[in-house]
Amino acid sequence: MSKNILITGASSGFGLLIANGLHSKGYNVIGTSRNPEKIQSTVPFKMISLDLDSGQSINTLPERLFKEIGQLDILINNAGFLVNGIAEEIPIELGRKQFETNFWGTIKVTNAMLPHFRKQKLGKIITVGSIVGLVSFPNASYYAASKHALEGYFKALRYELDEFNISVAMIEPSAFKTSILDNSSAPIAKIDDYDSLRTRIEKFTNDLVKNAEDPALVTAKILKVVKIDKPKFRNIVGKGTSTLLNLQHFAYGVLEKNVLKQLNK
């Protein structure tokens, strides 16, 4: 029997690629989007509505989902967005929104599915984090903080769900060619003191995007995690990720100097 997989944020970016990839492998995929009607006719899998910023939308998700399927085998938390900009320039309310969606929205969706997983004593929760959830970079303070928070939360949850035969895993991609920057939010007001740094960051970011890898690698990594009964918690993917983590763990100062060197080119 084909496994049923729920993927949040399946209308674009990683989510769409993951959903299409899993569907092509024979999995029964249900994707979510704020406006599923806009994409339903263009995808081969079922789409249902979900707004991570709406408690009502999340609370009614199980009822709506189980009208489509009898059992959920895997939840893939993917939905989220990017707030980019210098930390001091970002309004606190925009920072709060980053956390409401990326962190609290993800946690609320997970909690909505946990009673079902515990009842059947079977399930897998895969959350798409980011390498910046392990190693922070300039111009992404709130985004990195939200991904760090997910890392800490799901580490604890992994222990708590073990006795129920529910696996918890994180996918941590580095830079890939997706639409995340196109759909990002940024502060309007700028602080002149940061103009020089901002220029260097823009060059650094443009080079990063230009040399970003094919996101199909992330889809392939998730397919592997889906197939493994007991996947490891941390699953990094992308060039340079192992080096970044080793530098963070053993010599963070070297990493910091390297980032500053790149920005000052």
Give catalytic residues, as residue numbers: 143
In the numeric block, which tokens belong to residue 116?
């079902």
Q: Which helix (H) or strand (E) holds 146?
A: helix 141-161
E strands, the chain, are: 4-7, 28-33, 46-49, 74-77, 123-128, 166-173, 234-237
Q: Name beta bridge partners: 157.
A: none
Residue 193 DSSP symbol: G
> CA distances (Å), 69 to each of 23, 42, 132, 199, 226, in order?
15, 21, 35, 50, 18
E strands, 134-265, are: 166-173, 234-237
Q: How far is CA 188 from the centre of its chain?
A: 25
Give 26's contacts (C-beta < 8 A, 6+ positions apart).
Answer: 2
**Do residues 225 and 160 lie in contact, with contact meaning Cβ atoms separated by under 8 Å?**
no
